[in-house]
A and B are shown apart, each in its own frame.
Chain A
Amino acid sequence: MEMNARWELKPGQTYHWTLGVLSVWICRVDGEWLYAWNHRDEDAEPPVDRLSLVPDTPKPDDLPWTRVIAPDADHGVGFAPRLADRAVVIKGDEYITVLPRSNAELFAPLPVWVAVFSGASPERVLFEAPTQPLHRRWFGNSMQGSLCYSVFARLTSDRVELELPPVSALCTIRIRNQSSVPFRTDSVFLQANEFKLYRRRDADNPFAGLVSSSEVITVTGDNELSFSVASERAKQQQRAEVELVADWRKRPDDSWWKRGYVLFQRISNY
């Protein structure tokens, strides 16, 4: 299985790809790359789960080109999956409760981005775009917290039951309730920008079978939580099954003092 999808473009010709509800137009002209992207209306056209080149779809006139100066002779573009560039909050439609002094394992889908790069090197990124429109939300209180992407999805404890939306990565969340009170929540905070992205070796396309690092949420008291990226050891043991696709965007902080993102404030919805 190819790690990334690649195409050679003819100069002056505009190409159009779709993935999820993302539409991408790219054109190679003298010394420049031109690109544009938008999200289609999900209700009108269902999302597609594999990157495909769609011929005869002109770029909408109201969508401007972005120019990238690249005087080299490379006419190839590559597409690779990436995780979000900031944390993601998955909000479910129902509350879940983890009993005191007990653990739970949940599964959730993480939105996937596409990185488009010129030539063979994934470091020469022309642009990145989410494969689905993402809303933003604030995690914390109005005085302190962090800006996250907001995704509505059902949190489930049964991996088989989880219906992954097209182009998304499976994330395992382990909740350790070490407190003496039940932990009740309808949403989880995932540090997606600190996660690594893997792909199952048996996946049939570069954007399928994606799995992210796992997250550990430790509850130490009423509304006192800490978030950390789970050790990668388990993933390394699964090396035969998965391969690393993308490294973290932000190196996870391993120090005990700063480990994860700790919010001591009373969080209204947590």
Chain B
Amino acid sequence: MHLLIPEELLRLFSLDSALVLARIVIVLVVSLLLVKLVAFFTVQLFKKRFSQQSLMILKKGITYSGVTIVWMIVLAQLGLNLTALLGAAGIVGIAVGFAAQTSVSNVISGVFLISEKSFAVGDVIRVGGFAGVVLTIDLLSVKIRTFDNQYIRLPNEMLIKTEVTNVTRFPIRRLNVEFVVRYGTDLSRVKETLLNVARANSNCLDEPEPLFVINTFGRFGVEIMFGIWFVKEDFLAVKNSIMQGVHSALSEAGIEFAVPPAVHFDGGG
């Protein structure tokens, strides 16, 4: 028994085995490099025609299929029976599936997310308490970059179950500015002042026209909503300039915001 072990070891480290091993390493390195190159050049080829999202799916599709084929080649080189292995993988898969329900659920959710096209790479989404730009949609999770530059990983399963707002789905958006003016204010003057603010702002679109809505007669004054349309990329510029413009224009026109009356409590007694 003691003599057999060195013999087996010798066989394992024989020249033939070393050659097989070398061949496998070369096949592995060359094939993986080839897969990477194919993925890279395919992406370069379709860069101008496809969206970021489609390119990402294309790249991942090529990489995953390529890596699977490479491993099958390697296993064949090792002399393993692939049919038996795949059969075993099915059984193992069921066992792993039970053990890794969450991961499997994430993978399936990922497939649904990609096929549903609710959002794509580069879109700005709002999920739960997070908002940011979609960086990548992977098998298990979606990665977003928040506006204060944090990297957040959102599990696909969560995105399937939760309400997701795609902020940049459509090319134009409306910014709603809501405020309350005092009772007795000339509302037609308020409207004219606000429309002038929109006209003077080059980021506001002339069409669709700005929207002026008297929301309700509130507790402290008349509640107004003023909506202006803009191209989605201009959000920050529009928000800042419009808020500033509305504030200045109303002040200059002598129109005052209504604020809840301050209550002074002197402690009683």
Contacts and interface: CB of A to CB of B under 8 A. Distances in A.
Interface stretch (B10-18, B79-87, B95-103, B202-210): B202-210
B208 A138 contact: yes
Most chain B C-beta atoms within 10 Å of own C-beta, residue among A89, A133, A138, A269 = A138
A233 interface: no
A15 to B, nearest CB: 26
Interface in B165-203: 170-172, 199, 202-203
B231 A135 contact: no
B172 A142 contact: yes
B208 A142 contact: yes
Chain B interface mostly helix, strand, loop or mixed?
A: loop
B170 A135 contact: no
A185 to B, nearest CB: 13
B229 interface: yes
Contact of B171 (A91, A133, A144): A144
Given A89-B207, A143-B170, A138 B229 contact: yes
A137 B207 contact: yes
A145 B171 contact: yes
A228 interface: no
Interface residues of A, number: 16
A208 B202 CA distance: 28
A195 interface: no
A139 B229 CA distance: 12
B170 A138 contact: no
A136 interface: yes
A138 B205 CA distance: 7
A147 interface: yes
24 contacts: A89-B207, A133-B202, A135-B199, A135-B205, A135-B206, A136-B205, A136-B206, A136-B231, A137-B205, A137-B207, A138-B171, A138-B172, A138-B205, A138-B207, A138-B231, A139-B207, A142-B172, A143-B171, A145-B171, A145-B172, A147-B171, A147-B231, A150-B206, A269-B207
Interface of B: 170-172, 199, 202-203, 205-208, 229, 231
